[in-house]
Structure 1
């Protein structure tokens, strides 16, 4: 029991540290992407952390298996390097016994991954889709930040407002620059610039929104050219485009698992199998990690780390590729992901029993040669 607690603590502590680092890296990259959308006016800055919170279960369901895999490699690699595993082996600790003890924390991680993939992740995706739908209903006016130039329409339109009322109704010191194209959109035309002392938003009966500018000028063309025009106006209406928020999730990812069971759709059945594959992934990577963590103290603890990571990436890449093939009907849904799991299960069993078998055969040959 003491050995079990010691090994479990080593694995879980290393798992927590590795998973935390991976989570920070992934969420930082994703947050930068959302932040860029907010800077372009496609997202309200106030919902960024809310979106990240709802996306957290989806990140964790993929991070935890990798964290467990690396945690076993690093924790057990240190024990081999410091000859602690040698002492345990001398007391009768076999590879099979070590694997059985490791499966206990792996089962805990698998239960957590199952909870995430089957329940929390779909719920989080559904909430993200609601937020995105709400953002799609916003306009450039709703996401405008006073005192900052805001780019929309892939950079073809830039809007600026010096001041904005607290209720986001009235603007002051408005500047709008928009690129114009020919009908075939192959050649730029001269830009159009609008400036106004103030402006306010109006909603028409058909739902379209307009920014009504007052006391300003419209400039068409490039200064110095023959076609350059400057028009003074008292009132000018500009239709407000809706920001386009890029979605990284699909509708089926938001479907509750209970609704996927018994569904006839090809994509839905593939999604169900994917969710069930993630907890199974935890047990198989544990089987792979235990023999891969075995190192010679003179070789160093990181000798097998790179090949082990490549093996894990091959496993996950195959699962993702099979998921895409199943959704497109290129593979029979009855085959599913199970052949991939079986393949790496056999690889894990080979790694588990090959080294002891090789040592046993070498010992027998040495005994025969002495005889």
Structure 2
């Protein structure tokens, strides 16, 4: 029991460190993407942290199996390098018992991954989609930030700037709007229109149309680089704001509750269900793969087998993703599905685990055969 606690502690500490680093790397890339959308006025900056929080279960369900795999390689590799595994082997620690001890923390990780993949991840996708739907329903007023040039939702053809913005977002001051003008088929640019105004306000018509009413300003029409600009001074000028496009429902298959996936003949539902159950199963298979791969010679270093091991893991995950796509397109039967991939790598893990035993038996058989030949 003391050895089990020691190995589990070493494994869980390394797993936590590796998973934390991977989570920070992945979430940083996604956060930068959302931050760029917030800077363009597509997303409200106040919802960024909520989106990241809701997407975290989807990240963790893929990070934890990889973190466990790397954690076993690094933790056990250090024990082999420092000859601690040699001492444990001398006291009766076989590779099979080491694997059995490793299944203890692996079971905890598998239960956590099952909870994430079957429950939290679909709920997180649903919640994030609701936020995106709410953001799609926002107008330019709702995402406008004072003192910043922003490309509006209609595309990069219009840029808006407001020096001041009231707390209720109904009044603006120091307004600048630049918009490109195109021909009827929008294939050729006709020029640019610039609007400046001292102040402005939002006005909603009975039919739901929204207008930005500009006061005391100028409109300039022309082509950049040419001197034939037309300038118009106005007291009041109305700018129609585009209506937001609202998605009425969540269409992502990842957001469908797990209970709804059962007893469905839809190939996409079947593939999604098998994928969600494959992630906890992945934890046990990669544990079986990692334990024999973690054994290294102290003279060779702990990182000798790290690159081949990562390539093996990537092959495993890539094959699962490829078969998921084939299952969605009904190219393979549902009863075969993703299970044969797990069976294949389970066989590879067993072969790695018993490789030395098989080599010893083969050497003994050849030696016995030579003795018989001599006799």
TM-score of the aligned structures, taking structure 1 as reference length: 0.94
How many Å apart are 1:356 and its aligned residue?
Answer: 2.9
Return the alpha-carbon distance in structure 2 between the equivalents of residues 65 and 10 of structure 1: 16
How many Å apart are 1:211 and its aligned residue?
Answer: 1.2
2:185 alignment counterpart: 184
Structure 1 pair 185–357 and aligned structure 2 pair: CA distance change class (3 A) = same
1:10 alignment counterpart: 10
Return the alpha-carbon distance in structure 2 between the equivalents of residues 239 and 363 of structure 1: 87
1:337 alignment counterpart: 338
Quick check: 1:171 aligned with 2:167? no
How many Å apart are 1:224 and its aligned residue?
Answer: 6.5
How many Å apart are 1:143 and its aligned residue?
Answer: 0.2
2:253 alignment counterpart: 252
Q: Secondary structure at the match of 2:193?
A: strand
Structure 1 pair 107–306 and aligned structure 2 pair: CA distance change class (3 A) = same
Runs of 4+ in structure 1 off by over 4 angstroms are 242-246, 362-371
Return the alpha-carbon distance in structure 2 between the equivalents of residues 188 and 330 of structure 1: 47
2:84 alignment counterpart: 84
Return the alpha-carbon distance in structure 1 between the equivalents of residues 251 and 318 of structure 2: 19
Return the alpha-carbon distance in structure 1 between the equivalents of residues 245 and 307 of structure 2: 41
Quick check: 1:125 aligned with 2:128? no
Return the alpha-carbon distance in structure 2 between the equivalents of residues 338 and 266 of structure 1: 15
2:268 alignment counterpart: 267
Contact 2:170 2:201 in 1 (8 A): yes
Return the alpha-carbon distance in structure 1 between the equivalents of residues 93 and 100 of structure 2: 11
1:328 alignment counterpart: 329
2:41 alignment counterpart: 41
Contact 1:42 1:244 in 2 (8 A): no
Return the alpha-carbon distance in structure 1 between the equivalents of residues 333 and 195 of structure 2: 58
Structure 1 pair 6–276 and aligned structure 2 pair: CA distance change class (3 A) = same
Contact 1:139 1:242 in 2 (8 A): yes
State which drifts further: 166-175 or 267-276: 267-276
Contact 1:177 1:192 in 2 (8 A): yes
User: Matches of residues 186-265 of structure 1 in structure 2 within 5 Å?
Assistant: 186-222=187-223, 225=226, 227-241=228-242, 251-265=252-266
1:303 alignment counterpart: 304
Structure 1 pair 59–244 and aligned structure 2 pair: CA distance change class (3 A) = farther
In the alignment, structure 1 segments of 5+ residues that lack a partner are: none
Return the alpha-carbon distance in structure 1 between the equivalents of residues 214 and 331 of structure 2: 55
Query: How many aligned residue pairs are there?
Result: 369
In the alignment, structure 2 segments of 5+ residues that lack a partner are: none
Return the alpha-carbon distance in structure 2 between the equivalents of residues 13 and 132 of structure 1: 36
Contact 2:147 2:162 in 1 (8 A): yes
User: Matches of residues 43-62 of structure 1 in structure 2 within 5 Å?
Assistant: 43-62=43-62
Contact 2:137 2:246 in 1 (8 A): no
Contact 1:42 1:245 in 2 (8 A): no
How many Å apart are 1:123 and its aligned residue?
Answer: 0.9
Contact 1:140 1:242 in 2 (8 A): no
1:159 alignment counterpart: 160
Deviations 1:15-37 (A, max 9, x none): 00000000000010000000001
Return the alpha-carbon distance in structure 2 between the equivalents of residues 250 and 183 of structure 1: 33
> RMSD between aligned alpha carbons?
2.2
Q: Secondary structure at the match of 1:190?
A: strand
1:111 alignment counterpart: 111
Return the alpha-carbon distance in structure 2 between the equivalents of residues 349 and 102 of structure 1: 15
Return the alpha-carbon distance in structure 2 between the equivalents of residues 346 and 301 of structure 1: 25
